[in-house]
Amino acid sequence: MSEQYRALTRKYRPVNFEDIVSQEHVSSTLKNAIEQNRLAHAYLFCGPRGVGKTTMARVLARTINEVDADVDGEALSNTLNIVEIDAASNNGVDDVRALRERVRIPPQNGRYKVYIIDEVHMLSKAAFNALLKTLEEPPAHAIFIFATTEPHKVLPTILSRCQRFDFRRIKVDEIVDRLKNIAVAEQISIDEESLHVVARKADGALRDALGILDQVIAFCGTDIRHEDVLKALNVVGADILFDLTRSIVEHDSATGMQLVDRVLLDGHDIQEFLIGLTEHFRNLYFAREADNLSLIEASGEMKARYREVSASFSEDDLMRLLHITNEAQYKIREAHQPRIQLEVTVLKLIRMERTAGLAELMREIRTLQSALESNGAGSKSVSESTPGSGGEPGTSRQSPRQTTPAATPASAPPSKPAQAPASTQASAPAAKPAPAPAATPASSPAAKPAPAQTGDSHNLFGAPSINRTQNRLSAVPRDEVTITSRPAGSDQEDVSGLAVSGNLALAAKPRSDIHDTPGLQSDTEAGSGSDGSQSTGDSEKSGDGVISDGNRGGSSESNRGGNPESNHKGNPESSHDGNPESNPEGNLESNPEGN
């Protein structure tokens, strides 16, 4: 029967300080302490898994007690002077009390009695407190070595009584060198690229790397090839990642979706694929600068390949790719359909616009903006030099909505305005308009028109007002009407594109240009208390019927007695029955002669 096989992690465990990989800062300190006889009574070894904490503790115990190298590291606990305790299974107060009793016993052969407590953070708080006094005043022959991956869980009172050493994560190149030596000793043929795959898979832990190499040897035998390593470890190969990168460069969505399907059919975990893709983009980012190639954990041939492909991307593009893939790792965890989430991520990577195209687009936009600004400046200079456009002083700009000519004198023969349909009166809202302040007359007021001999009077806009039994107005909303002047004798006028029928133009607000029109005169100059520019065709109930801004007789500025500026019942500002500004006679400024 053949000799029983022993795992590589156990067979090649270091037995001296020189064999320990990548922890020279701890090895040299402990060797100097031994040489100078300055050993502390308690040490705390902290660091990630598989970097040599327990191995360093065994080497220290072996060295200070001068144990032969022939004794296996796992057999050291069988000696009377070296005691290993697993704190994960011996974490109670009773276990610590038993330890305190054993500490009193001096070593049988050797100088020190060493207690190695692995995973010390697993001790309970009561157990830590029971150990405090022993750590503060230990016997001269006792040395405690604590090992933990989580030093933050150790009580501060324990940390303050120990010398702390932090172990580093082992680099990929150092792991590869160690694996090469072991492969030679085991007579294993393996290429360097496969060794890098094993080392990256170990994630900085040499113990894990030896275990992975054991697995690969069991799958491939003594002749190990790169393709077999990828199959054995179910790792996404670099070829797939570079093929996906090519599809991103070429914006080839179909090839990208085929690669995603291939990854899933091969049984690769989506999260592992995204992790590998993120690391791939990270290597491409560093490969753009030759000085950063040392940051890429790959073989020399692979670094050259990264260097070549990275020329197809800018730094901004690679940063965006990194951001998308890194963000997708968190979304995949909560996605109900991880495959669709992965496909969406890959499509984002492929369809992402390059910064070079965006920069070109921004340059074109700036060029177009400059051209528009220059054209705008030229148009402005031309408009300023045109007469009547507002560029010269003393000229007035005419409203673009004013399409009717200026009003003619009041002596023009009046004509009977057309009556609006009765349906328009019913649709007018019943709301009383608020009185507006009287407009200031222009600097050169027009002459006051003489009253017509036929008994008719002129309203605010110069058009004749004829007494009728009923005045029908068509109302429009305030915010849609602009006041414009009209000649006397006209029946209708178009105000802002809306036909207004009757003897009264409708307006939303008074405008100063009304008084600037030659031939017009406001009621304020004639002594009237009403402002016709505020009339909107609204009506209110007063007395015996509906009244608007004119009286029931049909004239907005005359009554039955002939007064052109007041009436007895219908004027909203001089009415006898309901207006707070009227007097018993019906008009604040009327006289018996009817002026």
Q: What is the pLDDT of residue 322?
A: 93
pLDDT at residue number 581: 45
> In terms of domains, do 124 and 65 share one?
yes
* Residues 509 and 536 grouped into a single domain: yes
Cβ neighbors of 503 (< 8 A, separation 6 or more) are 417, 459, 463, 464, 465, 466, 471, 550, 554, 555, 556
Query: pLDDT, tens digit, for every residue of 26-43?
Result: 999 999 999 999 999 999
* Domain containing residue 192: CATH number: 1.10.8.60
Which domain-ending residue is among 233, 249, 270? 233
pLDDT digits (tens, 9 = 90+) for 137-194: 888 899 999 999 999 999 999 999 999 999 999 999 999 999 999 999 999 999 989 9
Q: pLDDT class for 109, splitting at 50, 70, 90?
A: confident
**Whether residues 19 and 32 fall in one domain:** yes
* 457/467 Cα distance (integer angstroms): 9
In terms of average pLDDT, the best of 329-343, 411-425, 434-448 is 329-343
Give the pair of three-digit tokens for residue 305. 């390949």
Rounded distance between C-alpha atoms, residue 579 and residue 570, angstroms = 10
Q: Is the pLDDT of residue 439 over 70?
A: no
**Are 27 and 161 in the same domain?**
yes
Task: Tell me the mean pLDDT in the region 292-318.
Answer: 89
Cβ burial of 113 (10 Å; 0-12, 13-18, 19+) is: buried
| CB contact at 8 A, 113 and 41 | no
Residues 434, 342 share a domain:
no
- 108 — pLDDT class (breaks 50, 70, 90): confident
Contacts of 344 (CB under 8 A, 6+ apart): none
Residue 216 has a pLDDT of 93
- State yes or no: pLDDT of 254 exceeds 80: yes
Query: What does the pLDDT read at residue 137?
Result: 86
- Residues 306 and 296 sit within 8 Å (Cβ to Cβ): yes
**Structure token digits, residue 438:** 């009287």
Residue 430 and residue 568 share a domain: yes
> What is the pLDDT, as a whole number, of residue 174?
92
The predicted structure's pLDDT at residue 375: 81
Closest CA to 175 of 142, 156, 201, 214: 201
**Dist CA 582 CA 567 (whole Å):** 11
Tens-digit pLDDT profile for residues 555-574: 344 344 444 444 444 444 44
Contact call for residues 212 and 177 (beta carbons, < 8 A) = no
Q: Give pTM, 2 decimals.
A: 0.58
User: What does 69-89 look like in DSSP terms, one character per residue?
Assistant: TTS-GGGGGGSSSEEEEETTT
Query: Does any domain span residue 392?
Result: no
Domain final position from 309, 336, 355: 355
Sequence-distant (6+) residues with CB within 8 A of 17 are: 27, 30, 31, 59, 63
Domain CATH for 297: 1.20.272.10
In a domain, 397, yes or no: no
Say if residues 196 and 227 touch (Cβ distance below 8 Å).
no
Q: Is residue 390 part of a domain?
A: no
Pick from 115, 162, 156, 157: which is nearest to 132 by CA?
Answer: 157
Instruction: Assess whether pLDDT exceeds 90 at residue 75.
Output: no
CB burial of residue 556 (10 Å; 0-12, 13-18, 19+): buried
Which one is predicted more confidently, 455 or 375?
375
Q: Is the pLDDT of residue 411 over 70?
A: no
In total, the chain counts a number of residues equal to: 595
Residue 262 token pair: 């291939």
Shared domain for 255 and 341, answered yes or no, is: yes
What CATH number has the domain bearing residue 29?
3.40.50.300
pLDDT at 150: 93
pLDDT at residue 521, rounded to an integer: 44
Identity (one letter) of the amino acid at 101? E
Residue 486 lies in a domain: yes
Q: Quick one: how far is CA 474 from the chain centroid?
A: 55
The torsion region of residue 22 among left (phi > 0), alpha (psi -120 to 50) and beta comes to left
Mean pLDDT of all residues belonging to the chain: 73
The per-residue pLDDT for 350 is 93
Looking at the fold, whether 176 and 261 belong to one and the same domain comes out as no
Instruction: Give backbone dihedrals phi and psi of 111, rounded to 5 degrees, phi first.
Output: -90, -35
End-to-end CA separation in angstroms for the chain:
142
Spatial CA neighbour of 247 closest among 235, 268, 266, 262: 262
**In this predicted structure, what is the pLDDT of residue 211?**
93
**Per residue in 477-520, pLDDT tens?**
545 444 444 454 545 444 444 444 444 444 444 544 444 444 44
Please return the burial class of 275, using the count of CB atoms within 10 Å of its CB with bins 0-12, 13-18 and 19+: middle
Q: Which of 166, 195, 217 is the last residue of a domain?
A: 166
* Parallel, antiparallel or unpaired: strands 540-542 and 545-547: antiparallel
Q: What is the pLDDT of residues 354-400, one digit of tens each?
A: 776 666 777 778 888 888 888 876 565 545 555 444 444 444 444 44
CB burial of residue 253 (10 Å; 0-12, 13-18, 19+): middle
Count of CB atoms situated within 10 Å of the CB of 570:
25
Above 80 in pLDDT, residue 525? Answer: no
Higher-confidence position of 80 and 485: 80
Same domain flag for 268 and 306 = yes
* 19: its two tokens: 């064999």
Question: Are residues 302 and 221 both part of a single domain?
Answer: no
Task: Please indicate, yes or no, if residue 403 is contained in any of the structural domains.
Answer: no
d(CA 364, CA 456): 69
Based on the number of CB atoms within 10 Å of its own CB, is 248 exposed (0-12), middle (13-18) or buried (19 or more)? buried
Question: What is the Cα–Cα distance from 412 to 410, expressed in whole angstroms?
Answer: 5
Asked whether the beta carbons of 537 and 466 are under 8 A apart, the reply is no
* pLDDT value of position 585: 45
Per-residue pLDDT, 371 = 82
- Residue 128 located in a structural domain: yes
Classify residue 375: in a domain, yes or no: no
Residues 144 and 212 reside in one and the same domain:
no
Q: Establish if 406 belongs to a structural domain.
A: no
**477 and 545 inside one domain:** yes
User: What is the extent of the structural domain holding 195?
Assistant: 172-233
User: What is the percentage of the chain residues whose pLDDT exceeds 70?
Assistant: 62
Based on the structure, what is the number of domains in the chain? 4
Question: Among the listed ranges 78-92, 216-230, 270-284, which one has the minimum average pLDDT value?
Answer: 78-92
